[in-house]
Structure 1
């Protein structure tokens, strides 16, 4: 994914001097965001654009090109992809529409593009997408005009331009939290949700992930990637296509089959994804988990300036699965001393009577401290009328108290004049205290924190029980001396495969040899198979495919492939072109298999380091003869 988010150079195919065209807007965005890499405009007229040399084709560019953006009609995309393959471009973002979402002809056109890309080792985002926005490293492919873009802790994965465009504009102009990455996937012909999740799971700049999904391409891989990500940071998803009509709309929009909604919900829950039903909840939940600690339980303290708001907040909290935190008589007695004689302090706290004796801000400070210091409090809701900005009130003390009593997420609800609410919103969110305009939104966001906390707790408990079980199953007698042979039935997440193909006659009798080893260098599996009559290169690719299949059988998620065939290694890396038509299907199959792993690497090694795989191929040849 780095090639899409941090390219050193980019070619804009379809660059234009017309400010209304996508190619022109993309270039303007790159200038405005402060992209420091090289920009190569590509247009058949080859007239200078924005003071930059323009090229008729990406092939004419005299320097390496990391990434190409297609802002051209779908009819010209195939030729452009062939040029990118010849140039050695590593990644392509296709802004254009008119592919799978446009029916059979569009589906054929998209598959032709993908075939060329896979043979050349080019990764593709799209088609039919806005693509990438990376405020951290100041890069974008979007055609949505950008003004100020604030970097921050929330990432977005979107299958639609609405999310990566219109909703993005709303967030940039209305919310205080910034954006780490936006990855618009479009039709997902190649790069999909799993690729994006794997990248963001390890991204140090991202604390929470929001997703808009119309369909999931590879369910098993998606589940693995989502669960791995959710163990590190919260993932929220809005999955459309719940109804039959919505599913049909998704098909016409991005060519996506929406799938069974009940199964989707169950799968999300199993993976640790928190599902939402509207864009507003995506925003509300994401900023709660990006700003605040994860809730350790559901025992809620409520501090409200209004008695009516306290009652309604309590009703909403009970419906959301909360329990009210318990306050001992001793704790309540400390506040009761400050209350007027006619009022009795109870939880949930209605602090209006207290404001009459000690004042507005002292009443809040005393009660919020009481709520957060209480041992039974696990989450806290604060509801207030919004004071006028000129009155000098500040709620920044909440952050200081949270540091004094850590691990307890707080949601703040401000109700009053809009201008005053906005001022308080800016004040508190600058301190990473999420502010909501209704107590129901605030409670729902706290409930999302509780749900995520339960997921993490269940994982910790499962691991604890697994360790206890393994300890109880340990043999009491001392095992026999000697090395233990690896059990091929075990799941080995990281493996190294050595592969070799051999042919006598080229073409002639051919065979393959494969060795799979674990992280400790222990041999997990060996393969020695004859494959009939074939060329040497055909045998090498067959060995690679068979090796990847063997790695998958062993449960590997990360694979490192080692071969003494420089041709295969360089072709898989996209450094060499494919001249033999007979190899094209094998190359496509190998490229498709590599994408089923979370991490894939391939490296050339000297023949003597591949000795065992070579021996296995030779043994199979002898048996064939």
Structure 2
């Protein structure tokens, strides 16, 4: 079988099932590819020929006057096998099969999927799906999703593979609306008639644009190969995995979603943790963790320091740290002496460091800057969480941003609690400066724990 790199880096695309109706998916995809600036050749295929959005519609693949690397099949399941045979004759390297109605729907759909599998194996073409919106390559502006827009194709460093249909497109749209979270590559696996999670890992681990890998899985097609590739990938970059079907009800739902086979969740969880992946509970956990890995260095130890204006939030944060197997850092005398220059009460110079009401005398900027520099210099501190308030102007965080622009020896996180509207400007400023900011400090603790988990994996002796 061809490497999927040849498909993800396709220099030409044919849209099979491109309608002359401008509202239909095929026509919309041709429009999207032009609008986002895809760098390769594009052609539409429609048995009646014609034109849509300035694109010639060819009656068949043979009429297309250039080689086709990737074909997107936007046609009903019953027409897919013949279309695949035509693709093989044209020398197409890979196909995205978008339609649902295959093995996830019953015996007839399973029959279609078996035929598709046989054709792909006999021809060497790679197949993504069925039941998927397919692929994204932000480096070349390649997309097979008719929902895509230019902002979604902004180059980033997150490689994401999902065993789902429309979910990849929805997540990509959501991520692209957040500051600093853009994809490098997106791979929709769908029913995994051919390309599966092990193939996706094999590609993403060697993709230079990808710094971190995310996966949404409902099952695993080839457990041995998946774990083998997972171990190799983790040695190069973090792998974050969301695995649904944790409950019996969820497992039953996944079977009807993408024809998934049940896998005991405890077995899966233990296997991927041993391999070094980070198991996440859902999309919110995934996004928070992305911000940590993309912006901060890995922690060298388990010891956290907390800087707070609220004793209650500090106590809850300490509980969270202990529950995640972390430690509360003990500050050395030199650090406490430096902190004492801006915090008058000696008991408040210990960890957690309580800056209220002293910051009112010295100013928030000076108080937090002096404490940040002291904690960065303390070898007994491996990570720092600043617990602050939302009703402040972004300017108060400028000194902290300036310090961390030059000195990121340790991961530093912020938590802002208060009026959501007041928080927006600060959140935007912190995102733009690569400073992970969360609603609650417990979230920051959890992200630190995930990063520490991966750091321990990286510290293992090479096998």
TM-score when normalising by structure 1: 0.71
**Number of the residue aligned with 2:53:** 50
Q: Does 1:22 align with 2:25?
A: yes
**Number of the residue aligned with 1:414:** 416
**Number of the residue aligned with 1:504:** none
Offset at residue 126 of structure 1 (A): 0.7
Offset at residue 337 of structure 1 (A): 3.5
Q: 1:445 aligns with which of 439, 444, 447?
A: 447
Q: 1:231 aligns with which of 231, 235, 241?
A: 235
Q: Which 10-residue stretch deviates more, 282-291 or 122-131? A: 282-291
**Number of the residue aligned with 1:159:** 163
Contact 1:176 1:426 in 2 (8 A): no
Offset at residue 133 of structure 1 (A): 1.2
Contact 1:29 1:146 in 2 (8 A): yes
Indicate how the Cα distance of structure 1 residues 247 and 356 shifts in structure 2: closer, same or farther if over 3 A, else same: same
Q: 2:323 aligns with which of 307, 319, 326?
A: 319
Q: How far apart, in 2, do the equivalents of 1:401 and 1:175 lie?
A: 18
**Number of the residue aligned with 1:301:** 305
Q: Does 1:427 align with 2:429?
A: yes
Q: How many residues of Structure 1 are paired with residues of Structure 2 in the alignment? A: 459
Q: Does 1:269 align with 2:262?
A: no
**Number of the residue aligned with 2:67:** 64
**Number of the residue aligned with 1:40:** 43
Offset at residue 33 of structure 1 (A): 1.5
Deviations 1:387-439 (A, max 9, x none): 433x73233534534643x4311111122232332222222222222111111
Q: Does 1:77 align with 2:80?
A: yes
Structure 1 SS opposite 2:293: helix
Q: How far apart, in 1, do the equivalents of 2:439 and 2:166 lie?
A: 24
Offset at residue 344 of structure 1 (A): 4.3
**Number of the residue aligned with 2:459:** 457
Q: Does 1:98 align with 2:101?
A: yes
Contact 2:20 2:50 in 1 (8 A): no
Q: How far apart, in 2, do the equivalents of 1:56 and 1:344 lie?
A: 77
Q: 1:108 aligns with which of 108, 111, 133?
A: 111
TM-score when normalising by structure 2: 0.95
Q: Does 1:359 align with 2:363?
A: yes
Contact 1:387 1:393 in 2 (8 A): no
Q: Which 10-residue stretch deviates more, 421-430 or 70-79? A: 421-430
Quote the RMSD (CA, aligned, Å).
Answer: 1.8
Structure 2 SS opposite 1:413: strand
Structure 2 SS opposite 1:233: coil
Q: How far apart, in 1, do the equivalents of 2:88 and 2:447 lie?
A: 47
Contact 1:399 1:431 in 2 (8 A): no
Structure 2 SS opposite 1:365: helix
Indicate how the Cα distance of structure 1 residues 114 and 337 shifts in structure 2: closer, same or farther if over 3 A, else same: closer
Offset at residue 342 of structure 1 (A): 8.7
Q: How far apart, in 2, do the equivalents of 1:299 and 1:388 lie?
A: 29
Offset at residue 331 of structure 1 (A): 2.1
Q: How far apart, in 2, do the equivalents of 1:319 and 1:105 lie?
A: 50
Offset at residue 341 of structure 1 (A): 6.0
Contact 1:309 1:383 in 2 (8 A): yes
**Number of the residue aligned with 1:525:** none
Q: Does 1:372 align with 2:376?
A: yes
**Number of the residue aligned with 1:133:** 136
Deviations 1:426-465 (A, max 9, x none): 222222221111111111111100111111112x2x54xx
Offset at residue 297 of structure 1 (A): 1.3
Structure 2 SS opposite 1:443: helix
Q: 1:88 aligns with which of 76, 88, 91?
A: 91
* Structure ID, larger Rg: 1
Structure 1 SS opposite 2:52: coil
Alignment of 1:166-181 (within 5 A): 166-181=170-185
Q: How far apart, in 1, do the equivalents of 2:446 and 2:398 lie?
A: 22
Q: Does 1:143 align with 2:151?
A: no
Structure 2 SS opposite 1:380: strand
Contact 1:305 1:350 in 2 (8 A): yes
